[in-house]
Amino acid sequence: MSRWLWWVRRDLRLEDNAALSAAAGSGEVIPVYIHSDTETGGLHAPSATGSASDWWLHHSLASLDNQLRSQGSRLVIRRGEYPTALTQLLRETKADGVRWNRIVEPAQVGIDQIVSATLQESGFAAHSSEGALLHEPTIHLTKANTGYKVFTPFWKALRRQDPPDEPLPAPAITSPATWPSSEALASLNLLPTSSWTDGLQEQWTPGEEGAHTRLQRFTDSVTAYDDKRDLPDVEGTSSISPHLHFGEISARQAWWWGLRAAGSKAEPWLRQLAWREFAHHVLWHHPTMIDTPLRPEFERFAWEPNPRLLRRWQVGRTGYPIVDAGMRQLWETGWMHNRVRMIVASFLVKDLLQPWQGGAAWFWDTLVDADLANNTMGWQWTAGCGVDAAPFFRIFNPVTQGRRFDPAGGYVRRWVPEVSGLADRWVHEPWNAPAVERAEAGISDTYPAPIVDHKQARQRALSAYQQIKSTCPS
Ligand SMILES: Cc1cc2nc3c(=O)[nH]c(=O)nc-3n(C[C@H](O)[C@H](O)[C@H](O)COP(=O)(O)OP(=O)(O)OC[C@H]3O[C@@H](n4cnc5c(N)ncnc54)[C@H](O)[C@@H]3O)c2cc1C
C-alpha cells in the first residue's frame, strides 16, 4: 500500500477535495500543514497573510484537526520552507509522495514549481490538482487565444462550457500506524495578543462545518438575492467569502448547492460566484496586477498620498456616514458588504486621491476574506485602472449612494451610533441637518465634519484623470 502526504493549503475541507480523495484512494494519508515564516516577496507573499486572516487560519486549522481526529487521523503541523519541510517529512514517514491542490496566485504558482522540482529530484512523486475554482483558469479563452478582460463574455463562455464537475464526497481516510511529530498550533502565533478579534469570534465559525451552516442559512434568501444583494442593512448575501477563500467549501460545492436550492432562480447568485472565477482567471493571465495597474496610463496618475487622510478613512472618521459605517463594520467583523466596499474604495481613491494600493493593503490586513485575486480586482475596478473597470469619471456620491442603498439609514445607524438620533432625511448628510436637530441628536461634538467637500473633491479627481487621459489617449 502506498503512503501519501496530503499537503493542506487553502483547501481546509474533507469534501470535494481532489488532492485528498486521490491520496485516500490509493493509500495511507498523512495530512500536513507547513507554516513558512521565511518565504519573502512583499505584501502578498505566502507568509504575509493579514491579521484577520491569521485569526481565521488558526481556527480553521483547529477545526480541520478535530474533523480528522474524529476519523482516527490528525493534522501534522511543521514549520519551515515548503520544499525542505516536505522532503524531510517524506523521509521520516517513508511516504511515496505529496498531493496538493493548486492556488493560482503568482507567489503560490512559483512555490508549486519549486516544490514539484525538488520532490522529483529527490525521487518522490508530486501531484497537484485544481481545487479552488469551478474550472482551470486556462480553459476559457477568447478567439484570439488570450484570457478574457471583460466579465460578460467570460460569463457567457463559462455558461457555454459543461457545468463544473459535481462535488466529490469526503473520502474514508486510512492512517499510518505511527504518526510523525507535530508542532503545536499555538506555536504558530497566528492569534493576536490584543482582544480586537472579539467581534470576529461573535460573527464567524471558521471551518468546513461553519461553511455548510452559513450556506444553509442562505438557502431561503438565494431566490431573493437579486432584489436584496445591494442593501447592506439586510442579510441579502451569503457571507461565504471567507469560507470560499480558505477552501472550507469549494466553488463547485457552492455552485451545485445554489442550483439544487433554487434552480434557474439561482442564476444571479451563480453569476456573482463567476466574478470570483473571473478575478482568478484575470490574475492568472496578469500576475503583475497585484500592485501594478492593468491600464498602464494609471502609473502616471497624480495620487496625493497622505497618511493622515488614509488613517481617517481606516478608522471610519471621514464624516460621511456610509463610508464610516463600512470601515467600522470591517474593523469590528472582518467583513464588509460588497456595495459598501465599492463606496468606501471609490471614496478613498477618488474623493481623497489616495493610491488604491493603500486601500488594498488595509483590506488585506483586516478582511477575514482577504483574497489576492478578488481584492486586487475590486480595487483596480473601483479605481478605474483594471479590466472591465468602472470608468474613473464615474465617481460615487456617498450621500446619494447612502440614500439609495440604505434608505431608512438602518445600516449607518448600526455602525455610526453618533448619527443614530437624526431623522432619515439627514442621516446620510448630518452636516446639512438644522442646528437644532443636530443638537437634539447630540452629534455636534462627537462626529466629525466631512473630511472633504464631495463636489470639490470630484472636480479635483476629474482634473487629475484628465491629465493622464490627455497624455495617453486610450
Ligand atoms: C474594493 C473591493 C475589494 C474586495 N475584496 C475582496 C476580497 O478580498 N475577498 C473577497 O472574497 N471578495 C472581495 N471583494 C468582492 C466582494 O465584495 C465580496 O466577495 C463579497 O462582498 C462577499 O460577500 P458574500 O460572500 O456575501 O457574497 P455573495 O454576494 O453571496 O456572493 C457569493 C460569492 O461570490 C464571490 N463574489 C461576489 N461578488 C464578487 C466580486 N465583486 N468579485 C469577486 N468575487 C465576488 C465571493 O466569493 C462571494 O463569497 C471586493 C470587492 C471590492 C469592491
Look at phi and psi of residue 17 and say left if phi exceeds 0, alpha if psi is from -120 to 50, else beta. Answer: beta
Distance of CA 185 to the CA centre of its chain: 23
What was the pLDDT predicted at 46? 45
Cα gap 93→91, rounded to integer Å: 6
Pocket perturbation via mutation, ligand 1, pick of 151, 223, 234, 241 by most ligand atoms within 8 A of CB: 241
Distance 144 CA to ligand 1 centre (A): 29
Helices (H), 286-443: 307-314, 321-333, 338-346, 356-366, 372-383, 398-405, 410-415, 435-441
Residue nearest to ligand 1 atom 40, measured at CA:
275
Tens digit of each residue's pLDDT (9 = 90 or more) over 297-346: 999 999 999 999 999 999 999 999 999 999 999 999 999 999 999 999 99
Residue nearest to ligand 1 atom 24, measured at CA:
239
Average pLDDT over residues 65-85: 97
Least confident of 239-243, 244-248, 457-461, 465-469: 465-469
Atom of ligand 1 lying closest to residue 336 CA: 21
Tens digit of each residue's pLDDT (9 = 90 or more) over 164-207: 999 999 999 999 999 999 999 999 999 987 777 888 999 999 99
Atom of ligand 1 lying closest to residue 359 CA: 1
Cα gap 441→419, rounded to integer Å: 7
What was the pLDDT predicted at 47? 43
Question: For residues 172-202, b (16+ Cβ closer than 10 Å) or e, as one string?
Answer: ebbbbeeeeeeeebeebebeeeeeebeebee
Is 390's pLDDT higher than 60? Answer: yes
Pocket perturbation via mutation, ligand 1, pick of 49, 155, 228, 338 by most ligand atoms within 8 A of CB: 338
Distance 226 CA to ligand 1 centre (A): 15
Is 254's pLDDT higher than 60? Answer: yes
Is 90's pLDDT higher than 90? Answer: yes
Cα gap 3→14, rounded to integer Å: 18
Residue nearest to ligand 1 atom 17, measured at CA:
338
Is 6's pLDDT higher than 70? Answer: yes
**pTM above 0.85?**
yes
Question: For residues 47-85, b (16+ Cβ closer than 10 Å) or e, as one string?
Answer: eebbbbbbbbbbbbbbbbbebbeeeebbbbbbebbbbeb
Average pLDDT, the chain: 93
Average pLDDT over residues 341-363: 97
Query: What's at 74, amino acid-wise?
Result: R
The residue among 263, 273, 4 whose CA lies nearest residue 134 is: 273
Q: 133-167+208-285 in CATH: which number?
A: 1.25.40.80
β-pair partners for 6: 31, 99
Confidence of residue 42 (pLDDT cuts 50, 70, 90): very low
Domain with CATH 1.25.40.80 in the chain: 133-167+208-285
Distance 374 CA to ligand 1 centre (A): 7
What was the pLDDT predicted at 445? 74
Distance 43 CA to ligand 1 centre (A): 20
Domain with CATH 1.10.579.10 in the chain: 296-471
The CATH class of 296-471 is mainly alpha
Atom of ligand 1 lying closest to residue 238 CA: 30
Pocket perturbation via mutation, ligand 1, pick of 272, 336, 387 by most ligand atoms within 8 A of CB: 272
Atom of ligand 1 lying closest to residue 273 CA: 34
Distance 454 CA to ligand 1 centre (A): 26
385 grid coordinates: 485602472
Distance 9 CA to ligand 1 centre (A): 21
Residue nearest to ligand 1 atom 38, measured at CA:
272
Atom of ligand 1 lying closest to residue 379 CA: 1
Residue nearest to ligand 1 atom 16, measured at CA:
338
Confidence of residue 38 (pLDDT cuts 50, 70, 90): low
Confidence of residue 45 (pLDDT cuts 50, 70, 90): very low
Confidence of residue 43 (pLDDT cuts 50, 70, 90): very low
Atom of ligand 1 lying closest to residue 375 CA: 5
What was the pLDDT predicted at 32? 98
What was the pLDDT predicted at 471? 57
What was the pLDDT predicted at 444? 67
**% of the chain beyond a pLDDT of 90:** 87
Is 393's pLDDT higher than 90? Answer: no
Confidence of residue 473 (pLDDT cuts 50, 70, 90): very low
Residue nearest to ligand 1 atom 32, measured at CA:
273
Average pLDDT over residues 88-93: 98
Enumerate residues lining ligand 1, CB below 6 A. Answer: 229, 237-241, 244-245, 272-273, 275-276, 279, 338, 341-342, 345, 363, 367, 369-371, 374-375, 378-379, 382
Superfamily of domain 2-131: HUPs (3.40.50.620)
Tens digit of each residue's pLDDT (9 = 90 or more) over 418-446: 999 999 999 999 999 999 999 888 886 78
Average pLDDT over residues 353-366: 95
What was the pLDDT predicted at 470? 65
Is 474's pLDDT higher than 50? Answer: no
